[in-house]
Amino acid sequence: MRQKIESYLGLARKAGKLLAGYNKCLDAIERGKIKLLIISEDVSENSMKKMIKLAESKKTKYRIYGQSEETGHITGNPGRGIFGITDNNFAEAVIKEIDQKEFEKKEVF
């Protein structure tokens, strides 16, 4: 599962459909460009709250996934913990994989 998510993120980056960083994503959400917001689990509580609140107010889908070191490395943006996917197909594929991973995590006793 994790490998598929990483592949989709890498492909989105190569296709120019991935934004990285708080300010870029903030601006893109406000303009309605982001189809999926990905927030790393270890971003600051304040940043997470602000981004989730904005995403919900603009009806932008979001998921909390991974650690910023990992996702930053995968996407070629070290030190970043907030990412936006601007393509519907990539967004839907990543949502499907993240949700499947979360579902499987809950089934383990």
Domain count, the chain: 1
CB 32 within 8 A of CB 88: no
Q: Quick one: DSSP state of residue 40?
A: -
Give the model's pLDDT for residue 44: 94
- The mean of the pLDDT values for the chain is 90
What is the C-alpha to C-alpha distance for residues 40 and 88, in angstroms, rounded to an integer? Answer: 20
What is the C-alpha to C-alpha distance for residues 15 and 4, in angstroms, rounded to an integer? Answer: 16
Q: Quick one: DSSP state of residue 21?
A: S
Q: Which helix (H) or strand (E) holds 103?
A: helix 88-107
Of the candidates 72, 64, 60, the one whose C-alpha atom is nearest the C-alpha of residue 10 is 72
Q: What percent of the chain has pLDDT over 90?
A: 68
Residue 103 belongs to domain with CATH number: 3.30.1330.30
**Residues with Cβ within 8 Å of residue 1, at least 6 apart in sequence:** 97, 100, 101, 104
- The model's pTM is 0.88
Domain extent, residue 57, equals 2-107
Token reading at 36: 């999926």
Give the tens place of pLDDT for each residue, 37-55.
999 999 999 999 999 999 9
What is the C-alpha to C-alpha distance for residues 103 and 15, in angstroms, rounded to an integer? Answer: 29
Per-residue pLDDT at 90 exceeds 60:
yes
Give the model's pLDDT for residue 19: 95
The residue written with tokens 């304040």 in the block is 46
